[in-house]
Amino acid sequence: MIKNIISKPKGPFSLKTLAGFTEDKIIGKSNIIIKKVSSIENAINGSITFLDNKKYYKSLNTTKASACIISENVLSKYKFTKELSFLVSKNPYLSYAKLLNIFYPDVKSSKKEKKKDIVVSNSAEVSNNVDLKSNVSIGHKTVINSFSSIGPNVYIGKNCFIGNNVSISNSYIGNNVIIQDGSIIGQDGFGYVLDGKKYIKVPQIGIVKIDDDVEIGSNCTIDRGSLNFTEIKNGVKIDNLVHIAHNVVVGENTIIAGQTGIAGSSTIGKNVLMGGQVGISGHLYVSDNVQIGAQSGVTKNISTNSIVSGTPSVNLKTYLKQAVMLKQMVEKK
């Protein structure tokens, strides 16, 4: 079912054709055929990927992509053992955005879609004023309350409860999932690139994947993946007013308290306990069994079984010592 809700790319195109669109220089084979745009970790033969973050430089030696968009500076500075073709760009992220518009031109279309491919189980309870858009499947004994909008491109499993005024699009939702009033699932993530004069929207073509036994509170927002999945795994419980950005993965049985924000492409492990108003920076890894105190600001990876607090977050014992020392310094004055 997941394949049925993922955007399908146009093409294929030769690398030479793509270079004409982006106005970039080719290094390597210009006649190779590119079928899709992929992230560097999930690329396959026939994919083109891009690199503009030094955290992923080493991945170029293991990626299965056929080509990569890269800057002249990175290409000259780092040695790559894997044979790849390159589009050499002054702004790789901008070139990547241009290619997404070529492979997925319909993503930004404002044309009103006809309602089609709607499958609702006979045992489901869908309120009369729910707006069902195209490519929607609703499973056995699922309940959807008033003024919610479902679709396009949504699969909802069995025994789910969707509250009032919920908006779900571009999402796969498993079984026994609860989504409370006012939450928005599967809308575009926050992706923009500066072209030198103004910010250009980067198309978002991925989905949200929510596994079984997940509960999402009221007024939460979970953005669709930019290329692949934003994923909420089995048994996760999310409080009210939580924002989860594109490409985030939240591991099994993790608890997230209210007003927390997790920036794009961060991975949260299993059995993590996250207090209220926590902020987590992008492209980080929080390992399994971590506890994060309320109002913490996480700016670095956190290792397994750690207990952290403060901004920037540190080991809880260190945080408590800092608090005592700061209090003593203030009192001495």
Residue 13 maps to which CATH number? Answer: 3.40.1390.10
Instruction: Say if 144 falls within a structural domain.
Output: no
pLDDT of residue 78: 72
pLDDT of residue 77: 75
Residues tagged active-site: 246
pLDDT of residue 76: 80
pLDDT of residue 111: 56
pLDDT of residue 173: 98
**Residues 282, 201 share a domain:** yes
Instruction: Say if 148 falls within a structural domain.
Output: no
Instruction: Say if 141 falls within a structural domain.
Output: no
Instruction: Say if 267 falls within a structural domain.
Output: yes
Look-up: residue for tokens 């309870």?
125
Ranges of H-type helices in 68-108: 72-77, 92-103
**Residues 185, 101 share a domain:** no
Cis geometry, peptide bond prior to residue 9 (ω within 30 degrees of 0): no
Domain count, the chain: 2
Amino acid 63 reads: T
Backbone dihedral region for residue 23 (phi beyond 0: left; psi -120 to 50: alpha; all else: beta): left
Long-range own/partner contacts, residues 226-233 (CB < 8 A, 24 or more apart): 226/189, 226/191, 226/202, 226/264, 227/37, 227/38, 227/39, 227/42, 228/39, 228/42, 230/189, 230/206, 232/208, 233/270
Question: How many degrees, rounded to 5, is the angle at CA 208 between CA 284 and CA 283?
Answer: 10
pLDDT of residue 25: 94
**Residues 312, 207 share a domain:** yes
**Residues 16, 96 share a domain:** yes
Give the CA diameter of the chain: 73
Using a cut of 0.75, tell me whether the model's pTM lies above it: yes
**Residues 203, 78 share a domain:** no
Q: Give the domain range for residue 17.
A: 2-105
- The residue length of the chain stands at 333
**Residues 175, 72 share a domain:** no
Which residues are within 8 A (CB) of 323 and not within 5 positions of it... i.e. 6 or more apart? Answer: none
CATH number at residue 281: 2.160.10.10
**316 vs 37: CA distance, rounded Å:** 42
**Residues 177, 101 share a domain:** no
pLDDT of residue 75: 80
Instruction: Say if 206 falls within a structural domain.
Output: yes
* Phi, psi of 70, deg, nearest 5: -150, 160
Q: Name the token pair of 189.
A: 């993530």
Instruction: Say if 157 falls within a structural domain.
Output: no
The total of other beta-carbon atoms located within 10 Å of residue 324's CB is 9
Q: Contact 213/177 with Cβ under 8 angstroms?
A: yes
Task: Look at residues 158, 160, 164, 165 and name the one whose alpha carbon lies nearest to residue 177.
Answer: 160
- pLDDT averaged per 10 residues, the chain (length 333): 83 95 93 94 92 79 91 80 85 94 76 77 95 96 98 96 98 98 97 92 95 98 96 98 98 98 97 98 97 97 97 91 82 69
Instruction: Say if 204 falls within a structural domain.
Output: yes
Instruction: Say if 59 falls within a structural domain.
Output: yes
